[in-house]
Structure 1
Amino acid sequence: MVAQWEPGTQYNLGDVVVYEGAQYKIIQPHRSQSDWTPPVTPALWGRLPESAWVGDQQQQQQPPPTYNQGGDQKPWNEQSSQQVHIDHEERKKNWFDLDDDRKKQLEIGGGLLGGLAALGAGYFAYKEHEKSEEEKKAQVWAFQNWLHDAQARTEEYHRNGPRGPATWILNHGRNIPQNAIAGGEEHGEPLYIARAYYEGGIMVGKASARLKKGAAIGFKHDEIDVETFEILIGDMRGLRWVDTSGHLDVQSLGATPVEGGRESDGSPIYIAQAPHHGGIHPGKASAVLDGAYIPYDGTEKKVKEYRVLCYA
């Protein structure tokens, strides 16, 4: 029989638990905390589809839910569990490309729950007052799909190991994996390379056990604290830092840069490191940015001379 999830318990690779009627499999070993429940820590737990459930519960599958269109369900942002299946191809779609019936199913069946829980109330308090309800749903949908892809990458890494010298895996909070790649240092302590979804893009920043939530990214001259993010792990023997300046010209580097993320329009962002205020700080560079941009002291700093992480 599969055990119920409990706080204060050490969970290791291969462990499966039950929480609120669903099964979750460990992604990253950790000791559980009361506020680290499986649904809100996708960097630690992967939700198993019912077809993959183990133990006694495999025989207790429920029929597919029906969706009452009468409007008496809880609002989309107050759902307690996810009851709708979302396939891989559908996750590639923009929210505004889904038909109205499918949107309603996702709303009242908890299909936006994973993204909403991971984003947290702080995100909505910070920026979402500026958006319409439909724009909020689109943001949660896009965030959730990034999170799903990141979780799949992480599960693949734990199953089969790295496929190259640099791999992005999900991380949560201030626990830094042992093989995380240092992108700089401050006050004699390493700063690691992080990225996270924000406002339609995937932004590159820094991670450290000293940061408020574990990581911080830069966006439109602000430093944004994030708790659920990807961290770059790997082996520097297969990588190197290449000096450059100003707008990034990939062809002039003499090496292939490691892609860090993308802007909301799909243009690539690369991993940079730049000196500032006595330290070396990880950040982002691209063809449209006039220098490296690093999150620092609540804002973004532009540094003209910087280095880009490339494959050796």
Structure 2
Amino acid sequence: MAGTYRWVPACLSQRSIPPGALRVGTDVDGDEIYAGRAPHEGDILPAKVIPNKNACYVCWGGEEIVKDQFEVLVPAMFSWQFSTGGEVPPGAVAAGVTADGEKLYFGRVTHDGCTTPGKIQPSHGTCYYPFDGEERSSAEYEVLVLM
């Protein structure tokens, strides 16, 4: 099943978003947001990639952090399933891992009318997402699931 999607290295300084990258949302300006992941402080974190803003963001330690080096998710078949409280359904896409080995899953929330991606951390019972310079959280979210 691992061959049904792949993480493709990308770099904003080279403005290279791979063809077929998974679009997961839209920001407040109407710009497309893509699923990504990036390393930070020993973690590999789910990220939001916004090519029109030449930006990739992760959330960590209460902050929204810009990353230049990252990977973009190029899918086969995925769907979104509603969940709450840190729960993830079977087939959920593990998009990262904490330094101490906890899997992080790719989620998304609707905030101020914008659909924005984030990280589901089961042990915290929430989906964290970077928004407007801060790390926000929601106990209700959608989970990216492999079909």
More helix per residue: 1 or 2?
1
State the partner residue of 2:145: 310
Shift, 1:234, TM fit? 1.9
Paired AA for residue 9 in structure 2: L
Higher-Rg structure is 1
Q: Aligned-pair distance for 1:163?
A: 2.1
State the distance in 1 between where 2:75 and 2:17 align: 13
- Indicate if the aligned counterparts of 2:34 and 2:49 stay in contact, CA closer than 8 A: yes
SS in 2 for 1:288: helix
From 100, 104, 110, the equivalent of 1:265 is 100
Q: Secondary structure at the match of 1:210?
A: helix
User: What amino acid is aligned across from residue 32 of structure 2 in structure 1?
Assistant: P
User: TM-score, normalized by length of structure 1?
Assistant: 0.44
Deviation, 1:276, is 0.7
1:178 to 4, 9, 19: 19
Question: Does 2:113 match 1:284?
Answer: no
8 Å contact kept, 1:275–1:303: no
1:215-294 mapped onto 2 (5 Å cutoff): 215-235=56-76, 238-248=77-87, 250=88, 253=89, 255-294=90-129
Matches within 5 A, 1:156-235: 163-164=3-4, 166-173=5-12, 174-186=15-27, 187-212=29-54, 214-235=55-76
- Name the structure 2 match of 1:296: 131
Q: Using the alignment, how far apart are the partners of 1:201 and 1:272 within structure 2?
A: 17
Kept in 2, the 8 Å contact 1:204–1:283? The answer is yes
* Counterparts of residues 1-80 of structure 1 (less than 5 Å): none
Stretches of structure 1 lacking an aligned partner (at least 5 in a row) = 1-161
Q: Is the 8 A contact 1:176 1:208 kept in 2?
A: no
Q: Deviations over 1:127-147 (max 9, x none)?
A: xxxxxxxxxxxxxxxxxxxxx
Structure 2: any 5+ residue segments left out of the alignment?
none
* Superposed displacement of residue 172, structure 1: 0.4
Larger relative contact order (Cα-Cα within 8 Å, sequence gap ≥ 6)? 2
Partner SS state of residue 48, structure 2:
strand
User: In the alignment, is the contact (CA less than 8 A) between 1:180 and 1:232 conserved in 2?
Assistant: yes
One-letter amino acid matched to 1:181: L
Q: Within 2, Cα distance between the matches of 1:230 and 1:211?
A: 17
The letter of the residue matching 1:163 is: G
Hey, which of these two has a bigger chunk of strand by percent? Answer: 2
Q: How far apart in 2 are the matches of 1:206 and 1:258?
A: 15
Contact 2:118 2:127 in 1 (8 A): yes
Determine if contact 1:244/1:306 at 8 Å carries over to the other structure: yes
